[in-house]
């Protein structure tokens, strides 16, 4: 009973974890801001990119903002489309974005998910004006990779410096519980469950 209660509490907590900002990432290294790369007309900035090795699919990606690509990708960060255009599949949503700084000497990445599908976009810093998306295809089942080369992939390359505007508190996907409020509630719930369970055991 005790362990079941703990597991249930952590499962509920995991449902309220909020994704990172899909447009902007700030660490002690600086800021990566890809918002200026986004198209805002519901289309992909980088449409229909084919991997170097033929796979029967092409890939589209729009940094920061969701887009739609027929027949089936709606409100996505990235889309996998059959070369004949008959089929399309979401391979990531903007509201699932998770950043990684890349560690020492590594390139930063942003990861998107949609169900079992995982897309990792590696950001390559370029200061010579290069703006290129390479679709690297499906590295293993439901795991996809892309490489984005741009000056905005550099630390403080675009929109650098600390953010000066006040950001509103993010809300949960249901729109009803804020991240901070929801977290406090769940932590309290977790503590109550632990105390209650210990009482049952003793």
- Asked if 25 contacts 162 with a C-beta cutoff of 8 angstroms, the reply is no
pTM of the full structure: 0.71
d(CA 137, CA 101): 22
Q: Say what the pLDDT of residue 130 is.
A: 96
Rounded Cα distance, 182 and 178, in Å: 6
Q: In whole angstroms, how far apart are CA 114 and each of 92, 128, 161, 180, 200?
A: 5, 34, 31, 24, 40
Do the beta carbons of residue 158 and residue 36 sit within 8 Å? yes
Distance CA 119, CA 156 (A): 24
Q: Mind listing the pLDDT tens digit for each residue in 37-91? A: 999 999 999 999 999 887 899 999 999 999 999 999 999 999 999 999 999 999 9
Q: Which residues, in sequence order, are CB contacts of 185 under 8 Å at separation 6+? A: 177
**Could you report the per-residue pLDDT of 7-33, keeping only the tens digit for each?**
444 343 333 345 689 999 999 999 999
Closest CA to 149 of 75, 49, 67, 29: 49
Residue 133: count of CB within 10 angstroms of its CB: 22
DSSP letter assigned to residue 199: H
């Amino acid at each position: 009973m005790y362990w079941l209660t703990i597991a249930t509490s952590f499962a509920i907590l995991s449902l309220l974890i909020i994704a990172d900002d899909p447009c902007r990432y700030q660490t002690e290294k600086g800021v990566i801001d890809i918002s200026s790369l986004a198209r805002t007309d519901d289309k992909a900035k980088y449409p229909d990119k084919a991997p170097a090795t033929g796979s029967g699919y092409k890939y589209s990606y729009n940094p920061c903002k969701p887009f739609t690509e027929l027949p089936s990708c709606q409100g996505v960060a990235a889309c996998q489309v059959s070369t004949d255009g008959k089929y399309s599949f979401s391979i990531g949503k903007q509201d699932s974005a998770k950043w990684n700084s890349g560690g020492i000497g590594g390139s930063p990445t942003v990861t998107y998910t949609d169900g079992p599908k995982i897309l990792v976009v590696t950001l390559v810093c370029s200061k010579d004006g290069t703006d290129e998306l390479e679709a690297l295809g499906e590295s293993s089942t439901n795991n996809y990779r892309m490489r984005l080369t741009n000056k905005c992939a550099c630390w403080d390359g675009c929109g650098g410096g600390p953010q000066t505007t006040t950001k509103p508190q993010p809300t949960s996907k249901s729109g009803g519980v804020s991240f901070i409020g929801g977290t406090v509630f769940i932590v309290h719930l977790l503590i109550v469950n632990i105390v209650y369970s210990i009482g049952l055991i003793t």
